[in-house]
């Protein structure tokens, strides 16, 4: 395990505030992936953030920016449309600063993530999962709620807008990227991750490219997302589907636009999910679906670069938020994903 990065001057830390313990996560060597490729494949342990995911960084960056710009008054309401993790981060940071939180969320997300969000005290409104072009999409519903609240009472609500508010990307550029650079001593040769909002990939990519122009930045895209095809062929087109939550997109967000991406792959669940099962039993890491896509992408990037390189990816959240998907033998068999013997024994057919 690599040493923790020291706090950066670019990130304002409030004494005795929850924000002080967001970020500065360690890098963990992924032994099997490293040994299989001859590279050092390192995962940034974002599941160690207080809200349990990388989206704590997004929440903090967005709220810090809103406060600096005077977009929300003390005691106001934070409003966001989210698949879950950003909402958890916003609610926790909001609680620590005296705000209320209202989250609009697709009803298709895991029950565990919905419960975790409600446990923070946030008001959660579940809506049908529809395409972004539909006015009923969760992000549009959240924006409309914030606008209605502000029309009745100015600056009483703030719509975080994680997809198109580029404070998301900027925060990763000034915090996450420099952390990775410092933790690897500048020896990082490649960075790869999946994307939903585009903030992590674009922000980290920009930070690393500014310090080392030859570093390779790659997108690992789940099946059902259109972004890999967009990077490779300039067309938003998708195929298939994935059981992973919170990643992939059918559109180019403001955060994703202009991201310095060199390579992009579509990663099927049959490739990513078995990596998660093996990591749990062989390396003690229980990770969510997006981390599996990231690790699969890191292995592909390592093979693209060849042995002797250092690749960093993100370990975004815990697998304990997705037991009914990632560790459900019946669902895995239905999706054509291999079921390891230990999982079959743990949950035999009823």
Task: Give the integer Cα–Cα distance in Å for 40 and 42.
Answer: 6
Distance, in Å, from the CA atom of 158 to the CA atom of 102, rounded to the nearest integer, reads 10
Query: Which has the closest alpha carbon to 337: 290, 286, 269?
Result: 269
The closest alpha carbon to 156, from 104, 96, 93, 79, belongs to: 79
**Distance from chain centroid for Cα 30:** 19
Q: Which of 44, 55, 113, 325 is catalytic?
A: 55
Encode 200-220 in three state secondary structure. Answer: HHHHHHHHHHHHCCCCEEEEE
Burial class from Cβ neighbours inside 10 Å (0-12, 13-18, 19+) for residue 49 reads buried
Asked if 55 is an active-site residue, the reply is: yes
Helix (H, G, I), strand (E, B) or coil at 326: helix
**Secondary structure string (H, E, C) spanning 57-107:** HHHHHHHHHHHHCCCCCCCCEEEEECCCHHHHHHHHHHHHHCCEEEEEEEC
Backbone angles phi, psi at 80, to 5 degrees: -155, 150
Cα separation of 313 and 298, whole Å?
7
Answer yes or no: are the C-beta atoms of 162 and 199 closer than 8 Å: yes
Q: Which positions ≥6 away from 168 have C-beta within 8 Å?
A: 58, 61, 62, 162, 197, 198, 199, 203, 255
Contact 30, 292 (CB under 8 A): no
| Residues identified as active-site | 55
């Amino acid at each position: 395990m690599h040493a923790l990065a020291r706090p950066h001057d670019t990130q304002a830390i409030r004494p005795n505030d929850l924000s002080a313990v967001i970020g500065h996560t360690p890098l963990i060597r992924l032994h099997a992936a490293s040994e299989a490729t001859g590279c050092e494949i390192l995962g940034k342990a974002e599941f160690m953030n207080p809200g349990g995911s990388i989206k704590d960084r997004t929440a903090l960056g967005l709220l810090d920016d809103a406060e600096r710009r005077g977009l929300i008054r003390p005691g106001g309401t934070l409003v966001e449309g989210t698949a879950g993790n950003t909402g958890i981060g916003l609610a926790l940071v909001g609680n620590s600063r005296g705000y209320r939180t209202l989250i609009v969320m697709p009803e298709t997300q895991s029950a565990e993530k919905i419960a975790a969000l409600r446990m923070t005290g946030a008001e959660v409104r579940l809506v049908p999962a529809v395409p972004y072009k539909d006015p009923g999409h969760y992000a549009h519903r959240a924006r409309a709620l914030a606008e209605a609240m502000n029309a009745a009472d100015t600056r009483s609500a703030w719509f975080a807008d994680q997809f198109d508010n580029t404070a998301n990307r900027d925060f990763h550029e000034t915090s996450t990227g420099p952390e990775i650079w410092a933790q690897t001593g500048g020896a990082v040769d490649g960075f790869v991750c999946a994307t939903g909002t585009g903030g992590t990939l674009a922000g980290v990519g920009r930070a690393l490219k500014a310090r080392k122009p030859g570093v390779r930045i790659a997108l690992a895209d789940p099946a059902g997302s259109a972004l890999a095809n967009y990077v490779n062929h300039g067309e938003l087109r998708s195929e298939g589907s994935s059981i992973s939550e919170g990643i992939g997109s059918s559109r180019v967000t403001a955060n994703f636009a202009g991201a310095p991406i060199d390579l992009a792959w579509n990663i099927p669940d049959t490739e990513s999910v078995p990596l998660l099962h093996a990591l749990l039993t062989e390396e003690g890491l229980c990770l969510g679906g997006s981390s599996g896509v990231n690790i699969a992408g890191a292995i592909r990037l390592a093979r693209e670069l060849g042995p002797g390189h250092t690749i960093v990816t993100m370990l975004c959240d815990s697998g304990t938020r997705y037991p009914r998907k990632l560790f459900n033998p019946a669902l895995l068999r239905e999706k054509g994903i291999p079921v390891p013997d230990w999982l079959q024994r743990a949950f035999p057919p009823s």
